[in-house]
Structure 1
Amino acid sequence: MWSALIMTLPTQPNAVRLRVWRNLKALGCAALRDGAYLLPQEHAGLLAPIAAEVREHGGTAMVLTLTANDTTQRQEIEALFDRTEAFTQWRDTATTFQSELPQLTETDARRRLRSIADALQALHRTDYYPGAAAAQADADLTSLRQALDACFSRGEPAALPAHGIPRLDAAQFQNQRWATRARPWVDRLASAWLIRRFIDPGAQWVWLTDPASAPADVLGFDYDGARFTHVGALVTFEVLIASFGLETDPRLQRLARAVHYLDAGGMPVPEAAGLEAVLAGLREVHADDDTLTQVAAQVFDALYAVPPPSPPSPSTVPGAAP
């Protein structure tokens, strides 16, 4: 159930109207329509002071209880609370910070990371129905902390990160047979490219029609029981990046965001639609999985070659001193 604030704002003073709108936004209210705002029932008490202020200045306001008639209507109402856009804006800030990290002093870097972490916590407080975007943002924050430590705390003992993925030495994984499910799609194609490009240039592929019968001497990826597969919010491509210490590469991080979105949902990225269309076309053209993987690797090579965006100059940053 939800609490619904139904109101007509006073025409004057304008300051009251602005304050009411800001308070509704700060609470993460969903807009059912103009003048009708929702919060989950357990947060009904947060709407009462707003309703009182509206009435105090000559408007009308009442707080009612709203119940969905069926599962479809419940899902439609919950979708009104979707915070994906807000998490995407947060990620843009985090990505800018990561690109600027090498130029920052440790004091400035840690101060900015605290601010980014606080902003994420504030988002979580108003994310009443957490989904893939929230989990992805938490994983991004973990990656940011690792990137900062890599810059300023090299060699310092560190606790295992929240995702629990141990760091591995690529030198111990050379000329291996790597197995995954046949007819690979985005996560498997991207993972195969990453393995050959950054981990094991001599990798050989084994395509499994039934992962349960995988040979004992292969390194599996992206299937249940594989050595490398999804961990928490991370897709296999991201798990491989974390496993082999590749998190600080901004080009890989940009690719990882597209792969994550196409494989698991969450925060959309501009490259995702084009990548999906090209890979889908290649999958139709090439029936042989080895050929498909080889041709798809050229797509990932091209995307990786695109340089990351330059950090904004101080004059273009909102609020920066002239």
Structure 2
Amino acid sequence: MVNNRDTHTWLILIHQIPPKPDYFRVKIWRRLQKIGAVAVKQSVYVLPDTVQSFEDLHWIVKEIEGGGGTASLSRSVFLEGLSNDHIEALFTDARNEDYRIISQEGQGVLDRVSRLQSQQSLPLPTKLRKESLRLQRRFDEIVAIDFFQAPGRKSAAKVVLECKKLLVHNDTAVTSCRTLKNVKGKVWVTRQGLFIDRIGCIWLIRQFIDSSAQFKYIPEETYAPLKNEIRFDMFAAEFTHQGDKCSFEVLVEAFSLDAGSLAVLAQIVHDIDLKDDKFSRPETAGIRAVFSGITRKTDDDQIRLLRGLAIFDELYISLNESAQD
């Protein structure tokens, strides 16, 4: 929280951006929104006078100048006209609107979760999980720029917490009822259009769960399994995303494989699949580029799988060797 009643100073950015290209003006506007700046006049933005705000605005000035515009950054005190109370109200109104959107979207997630649970549909769809995680991340971002503790934060925090509780409750129920099943000799079913999470799951199943496992690839998002089938990384699957875990992580945890090089592999797959850079391992960027290249090169799942499995084999060996050094 910022207390400008004590400092009475603000950072003020005044800019002039060329009318073309349009995307550059929009880019700068979005950057200013992201750091929490509010406009007091056209092309005049204000932030509380903090070290972080100064650094953020400094880099935006450089970006504007690099794009052919002009920008000035100053530290100022408002003596007449605009008052501190008025400026603080601008920040509070902006954050309350952000919190209102979070609360509205979060309630939508809760309503959909409630309907699915009433239908005994477990686990929750991947898209719904990702939406809940996105709301949690967005809430954290808003809190970081809520300089004057807007009153809307309390209700938004409550909704976000309820979303998190429901997902955790659902995940616990799914894991406890499914990880004890005998999976040997089963047919594993997943969606077509293989990418790193599904390819990784297939590699993991063959290497550590059932070397003789058979696999079936379907075009549909939803699928009712036959008696001898197990679904993974798809809607309502026995093994799929849970909370902020990708399907590879869920399998590793469900079969108690979370150790050594597999734990590292799980972190890499997580960051590439969920795109959240949670673990930020140095190997991730290169592996992401390789798998993106494979999928751009071919739509044939068998070719994708063949190449992807080879990468997992080599990466696993490399990680083991590094651990022994």
Query: TM-score when scaled to structure 1?
Result: 0.49
Query: TM-score when scaled to structure 2?
Result: 0.48
